[in-house]
Amino acid sequence: MMKSLTWSDDYEILLRDNQILQIHAFRDDLRSMSNDTDKFQLCIEMRDNLLSWGTEFEGVCAHMDYIMSKECVQYREEKKIQNIQKGEGCWSKKSRDGNTEAERWERFIGVAETGAESRQKCLPPLLKVGGYWGKEKVQYYGWGLLGEKFCKVLGTAAARVPSWEDASIKLNQLRWRRITTPDRRERKSARLITQKDLEHLKLWTDKNQYVAQEDEFKYQYQPLLNPLPEGYSLD
């Protein structure tokens, strides 16, 4: 059974600013309604929107599930029955009988459960990163969406290089090497900082030259002077 996810300021570090605004707006819309049937209809609309976005929004689904459970009695009661009769609840049975609405609710709950479990694991290292580099950096890069392994490596890197000024100089050097080396270039849509970059950052703990073990390339501790290819930008 899914662990209860309560809302707090800490959890906002897992989300981007626009996602937080959307969650707050949805909560306020539910609270403005006095009819629970209308509230449940709004929950259905939000469910369909979230399912159309894809599984990368698992964390948002987890937070929306919490809001729905707190603000909509019909959703809370139907989900309670579903959890008590796991596999035989109202949505499960109707889904097997071909009920599209029940099937969508099952999908939504499954995504929300995955998101809640992932966020519980990602929150501690991201709070650590926020303490060193600032909460706004975590939200800007969307690190809360990148999974437990990435977040743990990120947390270790931030602890070893606690100054964002130092970290950004080193990460830009690492990124320049990665995206300008043949066979290493990533698509323009790829994330700005990769787990491999962070693995190197963990080892580059001073302001001296850093020599990568994999290819003995020498990275200099200095602001990046070489231009990046079109479509990339410096931090």
pLDDT in tens, 41-52: 999 999 999 988
Q: Does a structural domain hold residue 140? A: no
* Calpha distance 35→5 (Å, rounded): 25
Q: Are residues 84 and 179 in the same domain?
A: no
Structure tokens at 55: 């599984």
Residue 127 or residue 12, greater confidence: 127
Give the global pTM: 0.76
Residues 126 and 24 both lie in one domain: yes
The predicted structure's pLDDT at residue 69: 93
Same domain, 26 and 125: yes
Q: Domain containing 180: what range? A: 161-219
**Least confident piece of the model among 76-85, 173-182, 212-221:** 76-85
Say if residue 20 is in the same domain as residue 121: yes
Q: Is residue 149 part of a domain?
A: no
Q: Could you tell me if 66 and 178 lie in one domain?
A: no
- Cα separation, 25 vs 2, in Å, equals 24
pLDDT digits (tens, 9 = 90+) for 104-159: 888 898 889 888 888 889 999 999 999 999 999 998 888 988 889 999 999 999 99
Q: Has residue 227 got a pLDDT over 60?
A: yes
Residue 39 lies in a domain: yes
Is the same domain home to 113 and 14?
yes
Q: What 3 state SS string does the chain have? A: CCCCCCCCHHHHHHCCHHHHHHHHHHHHHHHCCCCHHHHHHHHHHHHHHHHHHCHHHHHHHHHHHHHHHHHCHHHHHHHHHHHHCCCCCHHHHHHHCCCHHHHHHHHHHHHHHHHHHHHHHHHHHHHHHHHHHCHHHHHHHCHHHCCHHHHHHHHHHHHHCCCHHHHHHHHHHHHHHHHHCCCCCCCCCCCCCCHHHHHHHHHCCCCCCEECCCCCCEECCCCCCCCCCCCCCCC
User: pLDDT class for 99, splitting at 50, 70, 90?
Assistant: low
Does residue 154 lie in a domain region? Answer: no
Q: Is residue 151 part of a domain?
A: no
Determine, yes or no, domain membership for 178: yes
116 and 201, same domain (yes or no): no
Q: Say if residue 40 is in the same domain as residue 87.
A: yes
Q: Looking at the 3D structure of the chain, how many domains does it have?
A: 2
Residue 3 has pLDDT above 50, yes or no: no
Strand partners, 211: 218
Does 115 share its domain with 197?
no
Q: Are residues 111 and 57 in the same domain?
A: yes
Q: 86: buried, middle or exposed (CB in 10 Å: 19+, 13-18, 0-12)?
A: exposed
What is the mean pLDDT of the segment spanning 63-79?
91
Do 169 and 109 fall into the same domain? no
Residue 143 lies in a domain: no
Closest to 1 measured CA to CA, from 79, 63, 67: 79
Q: Please determine, for residue 197, whether its predicted confidence score (pLDDT) is greater than 90.
A: yes
120 and 182 part of one domain: no
Decide if 227 is inside a domain: no
